[in-house]
Structure 1
């Protein structure tokens, strides 16, 4: 499949020596070169790969040169340099093994290229992992040295820490041990890493490296299935081997609810009943779209040849053209805008216009059943209502925005700095859509939000939602922790066929089995129940830690705050029945006791300040009328603290506002 110098790949990793593909970059890309890239910021991470700081590259290089990073090992990893400096692409050639890469055919508005530059001090690197989407990868060194330990594909669940120890041992001994392979990569050399191979990388000396993830026909079905599991539906047409062209297998058609409005001068306006975007096109394009529908075999390649790649990408982005196989997902759109948004109303198609750390809120009415006749499908709407009321200008919408005051914490934030966007309610037809259809929409939306570097706030819905929201974050966060606030463990097992059906009572079984979930802290649990043992056995899980409600209320949250791993990002899954004094109909399954408001608020505020929280979901909110002390009000308040801790606030303790 590949040339002789890559013999053995992709069955095993290979090291290619004496390559001249990077000779120009080796001559040019030194520290002085990067010092000259003014007004360019890079994100820095620790050895676990978790982002924790952003610096101007000039300042970062100065720290490298001054040797001030040794105690921190901060690593400029995963920099997409070509977005700001496309001419740098001329300084190297890519290995021939990427010639068939399917990922490079995907439009950048749908999928950002997986080409990365790495700059780091001695001792920096990346922790044990396999590459995103189960792709192949090549890794080259421009200067310095990389030491790499690799292990063949294997399920490391329950033994991950043991494998990390083994990887460290291989790196320390500098040679292969048993199933582990060891490589040194010197400048100009290329290590080719096959799909699914675990690897840990350590830099020796100040090191500059370059890497690309790529997909070829031998793994395209594996990558396709991984993309489906992650909710990345928009890139599937470019991944499969099922057509002669090799770049897609979906047959596209116009959206069945597409509205054509004739204007003057042979111009037609395209729109959808659930969308805000309108597109004016000429009569020639309308005729071509009609031909596409008549064809019924129009693949992406075929359509691009007819109407052009840019036009095709635009029509797909706004759902005017959709894959026929995904009509069930896209027939009614992904989200419907809400008339009373919390924050700035935003069409889901425009998420790609947002910036890193912008917050995106949406409501997902997912339920797998009702308890005691209490529906939680629309409970999230109450949270939005309370949050909207808190954020609203006291004199109405047509007035200049002011500041938000938090009297509990003595700080204030200008409304214009909030950067909270509301994309509305996830589309769900209760008559035709299944839970899995809605869930996959949620996964796709979460993937879209997190891939942009934004942070989602999801309003449920029941707790089944957690599986789909967390699944959708796997690409962006391959090592993720879950803070699960709940009265129940949601690990209930009966020993019968119901255990194989995802629902709100067993969802954490499904979550803990997601490969990117490394730890689950269950906080506030306090249920008391009879567990069946028929057909079951008892085991332990290294993934799960617990802080029961009794401990939290009597002894505090110190154990959680002391043991919480700061090296990985965390997602908060918050079931409102964890709260004290919450009863029906404000939640469906209340339990005696619970967490008190101010202790919980203090704990979460400390977590927001110290840890990287990638998003939050609030679930199991009943449809009862909103009360000042109820779960919707508390959820809204917790969202406010999340937002305040993301932004730069000022002190408001002594402030008094008087008329000029």
Structure 2
């Protein structure tokens, strides 16, 4: 029952500025108090240092801020491993989704065999060759599985942090054409928003938890807040209409908690500049509590 909170205020992986303030917004929404109320011992490590975009020149438009993002992720990975080895569940606050290259590397190094449940409106499976924007937050899942730039895929010391058959991507509804080809080639398990409509979140999560826990030592959950419909979570960097509902999101997290397989948890892409009275950050806090075992009764 120990949680270590880590903020990674990166907004270098995205086009739109502001998600670097997501860490503070989530903390401000009474994160620590919420976790302590459900019985957790909470330690907050603080934020990693991240350079400001204003001080950096983009060297390669097809991989924007790659050197800086890789450097942050290389510092992230051993911290996550250390927290886990000390008996903590790391709770990582983004920042944009590029931070997952480091967090998954750390989780994989600690566990050996790890499953991944990735909630996102987007595939995050682009590479330098397929990305229309060059934004690394759209490459992070692919890089974690060995696709893309050599320096990105080798963060944490090894290529391929999880087996494709142990990866579930949930809630996607905006995928680039060439990215879709890579996703199919990879063999990961994809549950689109259409499948959630047809099957329901309960069945999707039963499948996803089985996929991510089959033959692994635990699950890393990466939750991009843009998977939720923007009417519920407006403060995100890249909103896409038609997302999952408030209750679908909580059901998913409640089922993660019930699985007893959660080893590492992160919430990314909260952008307070675009939010309404911090409601997206408050939702992230309530979802974190659900994933960590909060119950109604």
Does residue 425 of structure 1 match 2:43? no
Structure 1: runs of 5+ lacking an equivalent: 1-356, 393-402, 405-412, 653-660
Equivalent position of 1:515 in the other structure:
160
2:80 to 446, 449, 453: 446
Tell me if structure 2 keeps the 8 A contact 1:490–1:508: yes
* Structure 1 residue runs of 4 or more that deviate by more than 6 Å after TM superposition: none
Does residue 575 of structure 1 match 2:229? no
Counterpart Cα distance in 2 of 1:531 and 1:606: 33
Structure 2: runs of 5+ lacking an equivalent: 57-66, 147-158
Counterpart Cα distance in 2 of 1:585 and 1:451: 36
Cα 1:589–1:420 change in 2 (3 A) is: same
Report how far residue 454 of structure 1 moved: 1.3
Query: 1:310-331 CA distances to partner (integer Å, 9 max, x unpaired)?
Result: xxxxxxxxxxxxxxxxxxxxxx
Cα 1:475–1:537 change in 2 (3 A) is: closer
Counterpart Cα distance in 2 of 1:420 and 1:642: 15
Query: Partner of 1:523: helix, strand, or coil?
Result: strand
Cα 1:454–1:427 change in 2 (3 A) is: same
Query: Partner of 1:456: helix, strand, or coil?
Result: strand
Equivalent position of 1:593 in the other structure:
242
Counterpart Cα distance in 2 of 1:426 and 1:367: 13
Counterpart Cα distance in 2 of 1:387 and 1:547: 32
Cα 1:389–1:502 change in 2 (3 A) is: closer
Query: Partner of 2:6: helix, strand, or coil?
Result: strand
Equivalent position of 2:149 in the other structure:
none
2:98 to 452, 464, 487: 464
Equivalent position of 1:184 in the other structure:
none
Report how far residue 623 of structure 1 moved: 2.6
Does residue 436 of structure 1 match 2:73? no
Counterpart Cα distance in 2 of 1:628 and 1:551: 32
Larger deviation, residues 579-588 vs 445-454: 579-588
Counterpart Cα distance in 1 of 2:271 and 2:122: 16
Q: How many correspondences in the alignment?
A: 265
Cα 1:555–1:375 change in 2 (3 A) is: same
The structure with the larger Rg is 1
Cα 1:582–1:376 change in 2 (3 A) is: farther
Tell me if structure 2 keeps the 8 A contact 1:522–1:545: yes
Alignment of 1:165-184 (within 5 A): none
When you count helix as a share of all residues, which structure comes out higher? 2
Report how far residue 492 of structure 1 moved: 2.5
Cα 1:552–1:444 change in 2 (3 A) is: same
Counterpart Cα distance in 2 of 1:546 and 1:490: 12
Equivalent position of 1:474 in the other structure:
108
Equivalent position of 1:94 in the other structure:
none
Equivalent position of 1:83 in the other structure:
none
Query: Partner of 1:524: helix, strand, or coil?
Result: strand
Counterpart Cα distance in 2 of 1:537 and 1:572: 22
